[in-house]
Amino acid sequence: RMSRHAQQLRDHDINPCVEETDASRRCMDDNNYNKDMCTAYFLKYKSCRKFWHDIMMQRKRNGVKPEMPSAEERKKMLETMG
C-alpha cells in the first residue's frame, strides 16, 4: 500500500508533472542511473514544476481556489496557450 504522500504524488489533480516525473524515472532506470543521459528529461520536469508553481502563486495572489488547477482545468489552460 502506498503512503498518503506517494498517492498524492500520483494524483494528476495535485501533481501536474506526473508524466515528467515518470519519464525521468524511466530514463534513469533505462540508463543504469547515469544522470548525464537524462538531462533533457530533468529539464522538462524542472520547467513543468516552475510553470505550474508560477500559475499557483498567481492564483494564490488573486485569491483563486484551489491554488492548483485541476487536471481538467490545466489541460484546457494548455490548449488555449497552444
Cβ contact 27:41 at 8 Å: yes
pTM reported for the whole predicted model: 0.84
Q: What is the pLDDT of residue 47?
A: 98
Cell of 62: 488573486
Q: What is the pLDDT of residue 77?
A: 93
Q: Does pLDDT of 2 surpass 80?
A: no
Q: Does pLDDT of 41 surpass 90?
A: yes
For 37-76, the DSSP string reads GGHHHHHHHHHHHHHHHHHHHHHHHTT-SSSSPPHHHHHH
Average pLDDT for residues 51-68, to the nearest whole number? 96
Q: Does pLDDT of 1 surpass 90?
A: no
- Binning pLDDT at 50, 70 and 90, where does residue 74 land? very high
